[in-house]
Amino acid sequence: MNFRKNKSLFLFLLPGLILYTIFFIVPTVNALIYSFTDWDGISPEFNVVGIENYVQLVTNDSIFLKAFVNNIKFMLFVLIFQTLFSLIFAMFLIKNTKTNIFLRALYFFPTILSSVSVAFIWTFIYDPNMGMLNSVLSTLNLDFLQQNWLGNENIAIYSIAVTQVWFHTGQMLIIFVAGLQAIPKDLYEVADMEGAGRWSRFRFVTWPMIAPSATIVMAYTTIQSFKAFDLIFAMTRGGPNYSTEILATLIYSTAFRSFEFGYASAQSVLFMIVIAVITVIQFRLLRASRVQE
């Protein structure tokens, strides 16, 4: 049906457009405006400070830099292992047998839990005194591996990253299963006729065909990693010594603890730019790899 001839069809777009405008466009524009001010979030009056907030962030804010580095560490760890595990599990569970369907549901189950519930479960697992992880290591006579998993500045961010991987691997698995099941079997038959081994089958058949699914998984995982506020806040609140502080938790602290809403808005704008740049880079790299194949 031609939209130009029947303009009333545009009315069906209005509810979604209104909601998108209210909950995304307006807050985004407001954040951009307030990022050039010193608004405290309470007072009706504020001063325009220009790019001062951005200059401060880039040149003289060590905590922001540390949060950014922590976010990159967290994102890379989750991106690599969550994508890898979800793809491996999907390849083993591709057939629609009763056992595989049950295992898919089992792996997907953590995804339906709330982030706070997952945080409490894993905080208990990581507990240095009563936690299951250290108890298992002690039972296996691996006491030298015991750690204060959330209290050690060197490994705390990776401990939370493991939780994030456990939390969402099942969700990404479903996407890969759908992509794998959509691959025509004829392609594998031709590959077998050509004498291709397992690695060649994966490289020249499987990977190019599931590249769109991989793009979705990697983009979604990246965004999840930068938005893991609730999980980190519930487990460590950014500590110890800012070792698990990421951009999302830092923005919250700046706005609702220090009441520097103008400065927090500048952090939010840079936050959005970082996510956009990383996502675009991922899309281009994946597209380039598909072209080379």
217-234 pLDDT, tens per residue?
A: 988 898 889 889 999 999
pLDDT at 15: 87
Given this model, what pLDDT does residue 283 score? 77
Structurally, how many domains does the chain consist of? 1
CB 241 within 8 A of CB 66: no
Which residues lie across from 37 on neighbouring strands? 48
Question: What pLDDT, on the 0 to 100 scale, is given for residue 212?
Answer: 87
Tell me if 238 is assigned to some domain: yes
Asked whether residue 143 is domain-assigned, the answer is yes
Range of the domain at 222: 59-292
- Whether 280 maps to a domain, the answer reads yes
Q: Specify if 52 maps to a domain.
A: no
User: Distance from CA of residue 162 to its chain's centroid?
Assistant: 12
In sequence order, what are the residues at sequence separation of 6 or more whose Cβ sits closer than 8 angstroms to the Cβ of residue 2? none
Band of residue 100 on the pLDDT scale cut at 50, 70, 90? very high
Residue 251 lies inside a defined structural domain of this protein? yes
Angle of CA points 185, 190, 192, to nearest 5°: 95
Confidence of residue 292 (pLDDT cuts 50, 70, 90): low
Number of H helices, E strands in the chain: 14, 0
In a domain, 33, yes or no: no
Residue 41 lies in a domain: no
Answer positive or negative: Cα dihedral of 214, 24, 29, 61.
negative
Beta bridge partners of 48: 37
Residue 248 lies in a domain: yes
Q: What is the pLDDT of residues 158-210, one digit of tens each?
A: 999 999 999 999 999 999 999 999 999 888 888 888 888 888 888 888 988 99
Helix H, strand E, coil C: the string for 34-75 is HCCECCCCCCCCCCECCCHHHHHHHHCCHHHHHHHHHHHHHH
Residue 66 belongs to domain with CATH number:
1.10.3720.10
